[in-house]
Amino acid sequence: MVATLRARVAELEAELAQAEERSRGHRADFECERERADRLVTIQDRMVAELEALRALLEAAQQAARPGARRTWREMTWRERIRWLRTTG
């Protein structure tokens, strides 16, 4: 009876060792994927910021291209201000 139990304990310890080895491999895969996901999030954040900046530039260009659209002094670029001062003065 004791010999049978010892054999079973040895089998279970071998299975446990195999499961721990598989677990280490899965952990490495998990760490690799987490780093990859972090890089992708960083890239996505940068792309969102660039997109917002481009949208602002596009909106400014569209406003400048509208005929008769008056801009306030603060909205004007320095070139536009100088041009305005030369034409009104």
Instruction: Give the start-to-end residue ranges of the domains of the chain.
Output: 2-88
CA distances from 49 to 45, 59, 71 (A): 6, 15, 26
- 65-81: per-residue pLDDT in tens? 776 667 788 888 898 88
pLDDT confidence tier of residue 27, bands split at 50, 70 and 90: confident
Q: Do 78 and 71 meet the contact criterion of CB atoms below 8 Å apart? A: no
pLDDT at position 89 is 65
Whole-number Å distance between alpha carbons of 48 and 31: 26
pLDDT confidence tier of residue 36, bands split at 50, 70 and 90: very high
Measure the CA dihedral 62/66/71/76, to 10°: 50
pTM of this prediction? 0.49
| Mean predicted confidence (pLDDT) in 21-29 | 85
